[in-house]
Amino acid sequence: MNYWFTTVIIWNISSYVVTYLTISSKEELQFLIHRAWEIEKKFESLSAWKTFLSMGSSNRLTVLTLAKESHVHKLNLEKLITILGLEAPTNEIPEITFDFVGLLPSEMLLRIIEYDDMARELYNQILVNINSKVFSAFYSGKKIEFVNKTLKQMVEDETKHICMVKKITGLIERIQ
């Protein structure tokens, strides 16, 4: 069995708990990439489409951009899985139902970017914490370069999504 010795920190957004995870094998890297794929496919993309359908004409272009780029990220992750010789994702996490009834359009957008933030943090931590010496023992320079370039681009995209939505939503206060 091939071992990698590096540490990845994953932030749990809902409870603000930091969990330490050591990537010690190719299988553990596969697990993290699969989770990222699940976030893109089942959470970001579905929540964006649900928002697109639920929202009036205002900000639909923003939501369409988020959905399109989430789909591109899912495809990029599938390329990474193929290039790295990892197993295909198996849909382990069930799809969730997004209920936006009674939410303002800006609240819907803020729900979407929660998943963008999770994905960004996961991509960033994988990128930052992979031990390049160990990684290079398994993969050629071109594969490593492609992985780094892809993850960096997805971190930038997710950051752009968060900024785009925050610019639109500003500070939201619901008076009940």
Q: Residues 25-35: pLDDT tens digits?
A: 777 788 889 98
- Sign (positive or negative) of CA dihedral 145, 2, 75, 54: negative
Q: Read off the pLDDT band of 172 (50, 70, 90).
A: low
* 71 has pLDDT over 50: yes
Asked if residue 37 lies in contact with residue 70, where contact means CB atoms within 8 angstroms, the answer is: no
Q: Does domain 26-169 have CATH number 1.20.120.550?
A: no
pLDDT, one tens digit per residue, over 119-161 is 999 998 888 777 666 677 777 778 888 888 999 999 999 999 9
In this structure, the chain runs to a length of 176
Distance CA 18, CA 35 (A): 17
Q: pTM of whole model > 0.85?
A: no
Long-range contacts of 60-66 (CB under 8 A, 24+ apart): 62/109, 62/164, 62/165, 62/168, 63/109, 63/112, 65/161, 65/164, 66/112, 66/116, 66/161, 66/164, 66/165
Tokens matching residue 64: 């369409």
- Domains of the chain by residue range: 26-169
pLDDT of residue 57: 73
